[in-house]
Amino acid sequence: MRVVENDQGGLSSHTGEGDEVVETSGNSASMLGDQGATETGEVPGLRAPQSDATDNPPDPRGGRAGERGGGGNDAKERREDAIDGLVGALGREKDGDEELVGGPCPEFGPDLSVGGVLPSEDAKDSSKVRLFVGDIHEGIVRSLASAIQRAYNVGMGLEGLAPAKINLRLRVLGRRPNGFHDLEMVNATLDLADTVRIEPADRLETQTDLPDGPRGPANLAHRAAFAFAARAGVPPRWRIEITKRIPIGAGLGGGSSDAAAVLRLLNESHGRPSSANEILELAEALGADCPYLVHGVPALVEGIGERVTPIPLAREIPIVVLHPGIPVSTKTVFEGWSPSGGAAGEGTAALRAAMQSGDLPGIAANLANDLTPPAIRVCAEIGRLLGRIQASGSLGASMTGSGSAVFGIFATSEAAARAARVLAQDAPFVHAGRILPSSPERPA
């Protein structure tokens, strides 16, 4: 059974898809990071299995296959070992590293109802995979499906997007005895996103492309990987590389989104050993924005971030985001908050209705953030930028999270682009983009 290359598609299932230890995301519960990770990245109450250098590391499966290989000869040897084992299990002969047995595999999705084989060693296009239908018993193929996919992805890695979060509305309803605050938020994601890449490694490593970016246990994504390994019962042996586009300390949820992306990718890569609720439990322990960002769709978020109710968004929303380049302390901003006396749900119902109907003026009229006054007392530049964006032709403007980023909603993308060109002289970071009805498929 010889393999020939064609364009019928690869085996990867695409997932569409933190730096800060203390996420400035508009919720003091985001400071759950203060529970402290150990030097190995261990999350309190969880312990991952110990790595054995003689074991093959668990190879990610699913996600978006990257274009560059990794692991050198080790990756090639693991790939050949996987092929030998699979082919040998069915009594087949392999020719080089280009033969594998397959059959019906519905779990790969509607576009991949058959098994497949690995591309040749020098094939870098993941779509060049030989697909065929065999008469092998479906149960055998299903039992081999995850091994086939892991073998395919050895040395290729996983890649996903971690979109920025925006708070269209953030109300602080009160403070709990444990110091956390009850919140009522309306969140959405932007077309601005970090890229998270995960590859097999001898141990857990995490780094960003920023020279001073958090590495290892100081990075929320690292702790997410360790928490997943502990829950799934697998050794934490991955290399996580994060390309940052979301400013740090801006209230845009960059660190939390990176962590949520790691949880999604690793769970997919291991055949979903953790249920959706279990992944959300892990996310809750990492920070208040993480559960929402696991969902990644416009939503009403309540409590300390654990209750997420999706909100249909009828259209994309043109937006301009400004960041003064000055991070603010979430803890300090919350300490400066004082009750306003407003009732829960005030204005939120109107905002949800406007989102569902695509009413941009209605959305802009109901923007609100109870943390804006204390944030401006900490960083006066926030107030100045709000004034600038309000004067630039926006329908409405607000701050996201506990700051220090602000944003404005515009009637059209063209109007947003014009305003961004003018506002570029006011802030070191300006993004003209869109609030999306769902998570972005590619970075801005």
Mean pLDDT of 267-272: 84
Same domain for 128 and 199, yes or no, is: no
More confident residue, 159 or 140: 159
315, 358 Cβ separation under 8 angstroms: yes
Indicate if 289 and 240 belong to the same structural domain. yes
Percent of the chain with pLDDT over 70: 62
Query: Is position 367 within any domain?
Result: yes
pLDDT given for residue 271 in this prediction: 80
392: domain CATH number?
A: 3.30.70.890
Mean pLDDT is highest, among 77-81, 165-169, 332-336, for 165-169
Residues 175 and 294 in one domain: yes
Q: Are residues 287 and 417 in the same domain?
A: no
Mean predicted confidence (pLDDT) in 201-213: 91
Residues β-bridged to residue 194: 162
Lowest model confidence (mean pLDDT) among 105-119, 164-178, 300-314, 402-416? 105-119
Q: What is the mean pLDDT of residues 36-54?
A: 43
Single out the residue of 225, 244, 330, 232 nearest to residue 273, CA to CA: 232
Run of H or E residues at 386: helix 380-390
- Average per-residue pLDDT in the chain? 74
Residues 416 and 292 in one domain: no
- Asked if residue 52 is part of any domain, the answer here is no
Domain boundary among 291, 310, 329: 310
Does any domain span residue 66?
A: no
Q: What residue has token string 């845009």?
A: 252
When mean pLDDT is compared across 90-104, 207-221, 233-247, the lowest value belongs to: 90-104
Q: What average pLDDT does range 312-329 have in this prediction?
A: 96
Domain stops at, among 281, 310, 339: 310
Rounded to the nearest 5 degrees, what angle is found at the Cα of 223, between the Cα atoms of 220 and 224?
Answer: 85
pLDDT category at 77 given cuts 50, 70, 90 is low
Give 30's pLDDT tier (boundaries 50, 70, 90). Answer: very low
Residue 52 appears among annotated catalytic residues: no
**Which of 279, 310, 341 is the C-terminal boundary of a domain?**
310
On whether both 277 and 378 belong to a single domain, the answer is: no
* Domain contains 271: yes
Domain that holds residue 221: 28-43+160-310
Query: Considering the domain boundaries, does residue 60 fall inside one?
Result: no
What is the predicted pLDDT for the residue at 270? 82
Q: Average pLDDT, stretch 312-324? A: 97
**Can you give the pLDDT at residue 92?**
40
Residues near 242 by beta carbon (within 8 Å), at least 6 away in sequence: 19, 162, 194, 195, 196, 197, 206, 207, 208, 209, 213, 219, 221, 258
With 50 as the cut, is the pLDDT of residue 230 above it? yes
The residue among 158 and 184 whose pLDDT is bigger is 184
Q: Are residues 260 and 338 in the same domain?
A: no
Q: What is the mean pLDDT of residues 397-424?
A: 97
pLDDT of residue 40: 43
Is residue 19 one of the residues assigned to a domain? no
Q: Look at residue 74 in the predicted model and tell me its pLDDT.
A: 55
Q: Residue 110: which pLDDT band, with cuts at 50, 70 and 90?
A: very low
pLDDT (average), residues 317-344: 88
- Contact yes or no for 118/152 (Cβ under 8 A): yes
The per-residue pLDDT for 10 is 28
pTM: 0.69
Please report whether residue 383 resides in a domain.
Answer: yes
- More confident position, 31 or 170: 170
- pLDDT (0 to 100) of residue 60: 33
Question: What total of structural domains would you count in the chain?
Answer: 3
Q: Residues 59, 165, 194, 370: which is the catalytic one?
A: 165
Same domain, 164 and 241: yes
**Are 273 and 345 found together in one domain?**
no
Q: What's the average model confidence in pLDDT over 264-272?
A: 87
- Among 59, 191, 289, 370, the active-site one is 289
- Paired with 171 in beta bridges are 184
- The answer to whether residues 236 and 348 belong to one domain is no
pLDDT at 167: 98
Report the CATH number at residue 299.
3.30.230.10
Are 148 and 204 within one domain? no
Place of tokens 């994060």: 242
On whether residue 6 sits in a domain, the answer given is no
165 an active-site residue?
A: yes
